[in-house]
């Protein structure tokens, strides 16, 4: 059994055991402890703080806070367990009032974005490795420009002598090289746009001269390279944009939760 599978089974076992224990405690003590709702609220808030500390841990790698991989595993499975704690705190009922509904929506968005981020982090790096290895994100515009220049020289340069290829480039390939294309289609692993362009190039090759065929083959290769750059940009951008969604939502949830605590303890006698 490799390390990933071992971590997965240990994490799932711990999550299942903690969930069963939490549900048993909830069923056993929810009507016996007078401040049970406050207790579940504090436990939930503490779990949320631990989850937030994971981002701080990534920004402070020089401190002896344990391995980042260990913190990641804790973050993943504690995140799932926090959903259980949240439902227990609600007593598995729908929230009432505008503030509580807003807080529930925020929690749901944070949880959903966390699941999306887990899926991205587990699948996108492997997909990137299968498409030509790592490409530095900041260098992609320069690499794309170089491909565009080479394609223009082939189709429109001084040595180009095919009006058919020149017209095809102006109508079909110039927009393709104008900038990054097909962001979400790349994220969902769709190659329809690439297949459409290469199919059009292949149609031209059937009626082209020998010299034009050689040029079209080079253009097809450049199209595939540019599509590969767009693919890397799309997947790396998805990983970055996810953080820009998940982290602000997380801090927003903490702020609303802290305000919720103030309101509860200030106006419903919870501080007594």
Helix runs in 170-269, H state only: 174-177, 183-187, 192-206, 210-267
pLDDT for 129 = 86
pLDDT for 108 = 95
Contact predicate 143/134, CB 8 Å: no
pTM for the full model? 0.82
pLDDT for 271 = 46
Count Cα atoms within 13 angstroms, Cβ side, for 142: 5
- The CA distance from 107 to 44, in Å, is 11
User: What is the chain's pLDDT, residue by residue, as a tens digit (272 residues)?
Assistant: 577 788 888 889 999 999 999 999 999 988 888 888 889 999 999 999 988 887 766 666 655 566 777 878 888 999 999 999 999 999 999 888 888 999 999 999 999 999 999 999 989 988 988 887 778 999 999 999 999 999 999 999 877 788 999 999 999 999 999 999 999 999 999 999 999 999 999 999 998 899 899 999 999 999 999 999 999 999 999 999 998 999 899 999 999 999 988 888 777 654 44
Residue 88: closest CA among 139, 157, 42:
42
- CA angle 102–103–105, rounded 5-degree value: 65
Contact predicate 143/135, CB 8 Å: yes
């Amino acid at each position: 059994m490799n390390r990933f599978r071992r971590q997965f089974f240990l994490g799932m076992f711990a999550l299942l055991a903690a969930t069963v224990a939490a549900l048993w405690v909830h069923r056993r003590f929810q009507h016996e402890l007078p401040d049970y709702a406050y207790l579940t609220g504090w436990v939930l808030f503490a779990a949320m703080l631990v989850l937030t500390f994971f981002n701080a841990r990534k920004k402070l790698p020089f401190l002896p806070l344990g391995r980042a991989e260990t913190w990641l595993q804790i973050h993943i499975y504690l995140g799932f367990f926090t959903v259980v704690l949240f439902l227990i705190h609600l007593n598995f009922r729908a929230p009432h009032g505008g503030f509580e509904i807003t807080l529930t929506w925020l929690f749901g968005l944070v949880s959903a974005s966390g699941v999306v981020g887990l899926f991205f982090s587990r699948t996108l790096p492997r997909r990137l490795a299968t498409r030509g290895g790592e490409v530095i994100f900041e260098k992609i515009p320069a690499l794309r420009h170089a491909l565009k220049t080479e394609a223009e020289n082939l189709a429109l340069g001084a040595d180009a002598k095919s009006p058919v290829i020149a017209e095809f480039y102006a109508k079909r390939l110039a927009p393709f090289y104008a900038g990054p294309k097909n962001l979400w289609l790349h994220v969902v692993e769709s190659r329809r746009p690439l297949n459409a362009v290469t199919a059009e190039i292949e149609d031209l090759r059937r009626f082209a001269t020998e010299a034009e065929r050689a040029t079209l083959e080079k253009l097809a290769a450049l199209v595939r390279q540019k599509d590969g750059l767009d693919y890397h940009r799309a997947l790396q951008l998805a990983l970055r944009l996810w953080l820009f969604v998940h982290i602000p939502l997380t801090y927003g949830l903490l702020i609303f939760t802290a305000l919720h605590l103030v309101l509860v303890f200030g106006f419903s006698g919870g501080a007594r």
